[in-house]
Amino acid sequence: MELLLAFAITLVIAVLISGLAEETVLSVAVLFLVSGILLGSGVFGAPPTINPDLLQRIAEIALFSVLFTDGMKTGGLKDLRNSWKLPARALLIGMPLTIGGIALLGHYMAGLNWLMALLIGAALSPTDPVFVSAIFRFEAVPARMKHLLNVESGLNDGLSLTLVVILMAHGNTVGSLGSLVGMPFGIAIGFLIPWAGIRLEKTRFFRASGLFHPLNAFAVGLLVLATCYVTNANLFLAGFGAGISVATFGPAFSESFREFGELVTELLKLAALLVFGVVIAPQLFTTLTAFEYGFILLAVFAVRVGAVWLSLVGSELTTKESLLTGWFGPKGFASVVYGLLIFRAGEVHVARLIAVAVTASIVVYSSTDILIARWFQKHGSDSKPPSVGVGGVPGT
C-alpha cells in the first residue's frame, strides 16, 4: 500500500511538472527514482518490504514494453535493410569495445577479478534511450542518429543478457547452452507470433475494429511475452523483434497502437524506477573507495564515447554526431535487470557498483538530453556542441 500511495503522489507531481520538464533539465524519470530512494532509505518511515521476484518481473516487463515499442519505431524490415550499417558498427565493434573497456577499468581500478570485471562490463554495456527522450522529440536532431540509437539499444539488451548469463554460469555448460539457444528462439518467437496474428486478422473471417484495433498489437505483444516466459526464450530480443514484425506486416496496427503503447510503456517505466529506487537505497549510501567511484564515472560517462567514436570512424556521421551518439548511452532497465540477477546470485559488491552506476547514468543523461537537443535545434549538426558536466550542468 505504501508503494501504491508513493507512486500515486509522485505521478500527480509528475503530471503537474511535465510541461516544465520538457523545457528544462528537470526529469520525470529522476523524480520517480528519487522518490523510491527516499522511501527506501526510511525518510517517510519504515521502508516497505519488496519481493525480489516481483521487482525483477516489473523491470523485465517494463524493458520488454520499451523494446516492443522501440521495435515499431524502426519502421520495419524494409527501413532496417536500408540503414543497417551504422547499427551494425555500433553492435559488432562498439559494444565489444565498451565491454572490454569497462572490464579493464573494473579490474585495475575497482579491484575485481577478470570474471567479475567482464560481468560488470556486460551488465553496463546495454543502452536505454528512453531516458533521453528529448533528442527524439526534436526534428533538428539528425534522423540517422536517432535511428542508430534506437536500433542499437533494441538489440544490445538481448545480446548482453546472453553474456551475463554465461559469465554467471561459472562453467555451467547446460546454463550457457540454454542461454545461447534462447537467442535465436527469442527472435523466432518475436517475428512469427505477430506475423501469424496479423495474417489471421487480414483473412475474411476476422477483422479488428473500434477499440480493439489498437489492441491487436498489444495482444500479440502480450502473447510473445508469455511465450518467452514459458519457453525461456530470450525475452528482450523477442520484444524488439516483435515490434519490428508488427511494423513490417501490420503498419496500420503499429500506428494505431503508438499512443496507447507509449502510455503503457511510460507507466511501467516509472513504476519500475520507483521500485528500483526503494531496493537500491541501502546500497547507494554504502561508502565506496575513491577508485571505485572513479571506475563508475569512467565506465558510465567515458568508455562508450570512445568506443562508439572508434566504431563509427569513416561512416556518414560527422565526428560531432559520432561523439554525441557515444555520449547518449544511458544505463537503464536492462542493467537494472542484470544487476538484480547478479545480486540474487550472491555477488553483492558487483550489484552495488551497478546500482550506483545506473543511478548516476539516469540522473545525468536524462538531465542533459534537452541541452543537446536544443543545441541541435539552434545550430545544427555542424556546430560545436555545448560541453556538459556531470549532473547535467552546462560546462564552462
The Cα angle at residue 214 between residues 189 and 130, in degrees rounded to 5: 70
pLDDT band at 76 (very low <50, low <70, confident <90, very high): confident
Please tell me the predicted confidence (pLDDT) of residue 393. Answer: 34
Return the closest-CA partner of residue 371 out of 24, 15, 1: 24
pTM (two decimals): 0.76
CB 306 within 8 A of CB 102: no
Distance between CA atoms of residues 340 and 299, nearest Å = 19
Please tell me which of 160-164, 236-240, 285-289, 302-306 the model is most confident about, judged by mean pLDDT. 302-306
Please tell me the predicted confidence (pLDDT) of residue 97. Answer: 94
Cβ-count burial of 156 within 10 angstroms (0-12 exposed, 13-18 middle, 19+ buried)? buried
* Res 306 pLDDT > 80: yes
Percent over 70 (pLDDT), the chain: 87
Distance between CA atoms of residues 123 and 129, nearest Å = 16
Distance between CA atoms of residues 234 and 256, nearest Å = 27
Distance between CA atoms of residues 334 and 156, nearest Å = 9
CATH number of 2-379: 1.20.1530.20
CB 87 within 8 A of CB 74: no
Please tell me the predicted confidence (pLDDT) of residue 391. Answer: 36
CB 307 within 8 A of CB 124: no
Q: What is the pLDDT of residues 154-205, one digit of tens each?
A: 777 777 877 887 787 664 544 444 566 677 888 899 999 999 988 887 776 7
Question: According to DSSP H, which parts of the chain are helical?
Answer: 2-23, 28-40, 52-73, 77-82, 85-89, 95-108, 114-123, 134-137, 143-169, 173-201, 215-231, 235-249, 251-284, 290-301, 303-311, 319-327, 333-344, 348-379
Q: What is the pLDDT of residues 334-366, one digit of tens each?
A: 787 788 778 777 788 888 898 888 888 888 887
The Cα angle at residue 243 between residues 240 and 249, in degrees rounded to 5: 135
> What is the pLDDT averaged over residues 218-247?
89
Q: What is the pLDDT of residues 271-289, one digit of tens each?
A: 888 887 887 777 777 788 9
pLDDT band at 129 (very low <50, low <70, confident <90, very high): low
Please tell me the predicted confidence (pLDDT) of residue 179. Answer: 60
Residues β-bridged to residue 262:
none
